[in-house]
Amino acid sequence: MRIAAGLIFAGAVSLCASGLAWSQTPAAKSAAAPQAAPAPAPAPAATAAKPTCANPNALGIARVVEIDTTGGPGFGFEHFKQLDFLRDHEVVLTFDDGPWLLNTPSVLKTLADECTTGIFFPIGKHATYYPEILKEVLAAGHTVGSHTWSHATLTNKKLTEDQRKEEIEKGFSAVKWALGGVSPAPFFRFPALQHPPEMVTYLGTRNVAMFSCDLDSFDFKARNAQQVIDVTMKKLDKLGKGIILMHDFHKHTAEALPELMHRLKAGGYKVVKMIPKAPVQTLPQYDDEVLKDAKLPTVSSRPVSSVVQTISE
């Protein structure tokens, strides 16, 4: 997260310099004897079905890849160079630090207009502030991971190992809470792209994939939307493909996204959607901590008509 001074979370500078399964075949029923019911399919992770595209000129989604997160694979050449799965002129769009008022809905509208997709890495606290916005992210078909509970830099030596784990686990639990109990994808991005070795190992034991990036838009530094576009495209044209780091928290990113999508289309770039093979398994201890947090809002599920009534006009 790159948040300006005055917000409750410390801004962090990125180090990145350059940069679902519906096919369940029913078991055949035997005419001779009844068969035991098949085991239920695992619950899907925080992804949703791809909506029908009404824009024939949209950027779209060129390819969907499923990620087996066993052992904690890493993606993004800034830190992880083992898994080079993107083809020439393929990109993955990623958005950190949301959900946030105005900006995240604007990003969602642009992606919907272009019938394309991204991976969202929300901050746990932000998820508890605006759960309805995060639900919109999921409902639009995007993949939802996590970006810690409070965006603490996990390389901070003042944090104990237990505190680092809490940042990771409580973040996932908060996202799950915000999504109404739907477990997010086991996709995680470290704040400021700072990867303490012990936590890399820990995420491996938790079967959580780690995301760095191939190129950073540096939208948190941008003075305007055009700068976001120019920086991103310059790096992308040099690399030819990559995982792009952006922030749905920032206004300039939301403003830049429509033109950036057009530039990607014009440049022959294609979007790859990444989904997990299975959802993350949150830990009950941290699920309970999120529920007990005194700062959590009370979210009403009543329809507007039962809450707000016009009595005079």
Higher pLDDT residue, 93 or 302?
93
pLDDT at 239 over 60: yes
DSSP class per residue in 47-61: --PPPPP--TT----
123, 150 contact by CB (below 8 A): yes
Classify residue 52: in a domain, yes or no: no
Is 245 within the bounds of a domain? yes
Model confidence at 94: pLDDT above 70: yes
What is the model's pLDDT at position 67?
97
Residue 135 predicted with pLDDT over 70: yes
β-strand 119-121 against 63-67: which pairing, if any?
unpaired
- pLDDT at position 34, please? 38
- The answer to whether residue 50 is domain-embedded is no
pLDDT of residue 4: 40
pLDDT of residue 51: 57
pLDDT tens per residue, range 152-184: 999 999 999 999 999 999 999 999 999 999 999
pTM: 0.81
> Is residue 17 a part of any domain in this protein?
no
Whole-number mean pLDDT of the chain?
85
For residue 18, the model assigns a pLDDT of: 40
Tell me if 29 is assigned to some domain: no
Residue 1, in any domain of the structure: no
List the CATH number of the domain containing 80: 3.20.20.370
pLDDT at 308: 75
pLDDT on residue 309 = 65
Q: Of the given ranges (18-22, 107-111, 172-176), which has the lowest mean pLDDT?
A: 18-22
CA pair distance 123, 267, nearest whole angstrom: 32
Q: How many structural domains comprise the chain? A: 1
User: Using omega within 30 degrees of 0 as the cis cutoff, is the peptide bond preceding 197 cis?
Assistant: no
Q: Is residue 307 in some structural domain?
A: no
In which domain, by residue range, is 100 found?
A: 74-294
The secondary structure of 73-140 as a DSSP string is: -EE-TTT--S---PPTTEEEEEEES---TTHHHHHHHHHHHTT---EEE--HHHHHH-HHHHHHHHHT
**pLDDT (0 to 100) of residue 98:** 96
Task: Tell me whether residue 48 is in a domain.
Answer: no
Comparing CA positions, the residue from 74, 94, 297 lying closest to residue 197 is 74
